[in-house]
Structure 1
């Protein structure tokens, strides 16, 4: 089946549909223009459909789009160097962040290490906005070792003791985070800036 080529207006409409999570309109775009046209949509700031969906927390639209777009779109930066994962972190959307990182055909945990033009990774963005839940999840799943990427590095150990992790951002700020089981006597095991 041959699809027509989307106009600039069509591409702007699908970006808006992704921004507002209008799954019906997104599906109509794909039916009319095919899934390959999705990757060509970006706004003047370089934001893709995944930036729009991730930044606004639309999990149903993301679930629909992920199998249709090229995996490289997950790591596509906008004009500020930010990926869709940066936007998910800025807006504290944990289910979106998890889906982007865990998408089997995508770059995986390497997305967490991508730095934008400001020198911040998605973890850095999460810390900047005070999103402790997301920062903790990023640290739990990210590659903390520069060595070979084995299966052990992709998943936290079961039942870890409290582990203190220090992470230095691009500005030299050090954040300390304690990872481990939460207990009723110590409910605030959050990251603490040093």
Structure 2
């Protein structure tokens, strides 16, 4: 098997960016599927970043048959995953394919924060993509609630409660709630 040149690797990334399935398939026929998972641009973007950011579901489905499932969770130099790129550009079918791919990271992808401190859900919210944000919330792992009876007993024994809330931008708001007895 011959080794692709830097220009040929760049051409593969461009083919993924523009959704050129035949060109991607020709690259794989010529150089083999093993090398595809390792190809990145100068910013650390993989073939999956390129297809995910541009919504090329057909190319994504093809690539997922030949690359290692671990590439789904690869972060670029800004610590963004292909799912971040799909969310930023409002590509629901791509986002679902990445999250639901057997053997991949699954819903854990939704919790990854990039250098801007945003998860894919945060990126969807920043982009104003309500449909995607709703879907992420529907499928993501939410902390399991404790038994309500335990929470009531705990609340009776606590004088002050400290609350931290994280917004879509990753900012933390802190609040103290005091238990007030009497009128």
TM-score by structure 2 length? 0.80
Structure 1 Cα separation of the partners of residues 68 and 107 of structure 2: 17
Structure 2 Cα separation of the partners of residues 90 and 55 of structure 1: 7
Unaligned 5+ segments in structure 1 are 148-165, 174-194
Q: Secondary structure of 1:138's match?
A: helix
Structure 1 Cα separation of the partners of residues 137 and 6 of structure 2: 40
Cα RMSD for the two superposed structures? 1.5
- Aligned counterpart, 1:172: 172
Moved over 6 A (4+): none
Structure 1 Cα separation of the partners of residues 171 and 97 of structure 2: 29
More RCO (CA 8 Å, sep 6+): 2
Aligned length: 153
- Aligned counterpart, 1:108: 106
Unaligned 5+ segments in structure 2 are 146-164, 174-183
Which of 80, 92, 95 aligns to 2:93? It is 95
CA positional deviation for 1:168: 3.5
- Aligned counterpart, 1:64: 62
Q: Which has the higher helix share?
A: 2
CA positional deviation for 1:7: 1.2
- Aligned counterpart, 1:141: 139
Q: Secondary structure of 2:102's match?
A: coil
Confirm whether residue 85 of structure 1 aligns to residue 111 of structure 2: no
Counterparts in 2 of 1:9 and 1:146: CA distance versus 1, 3 Å: farther
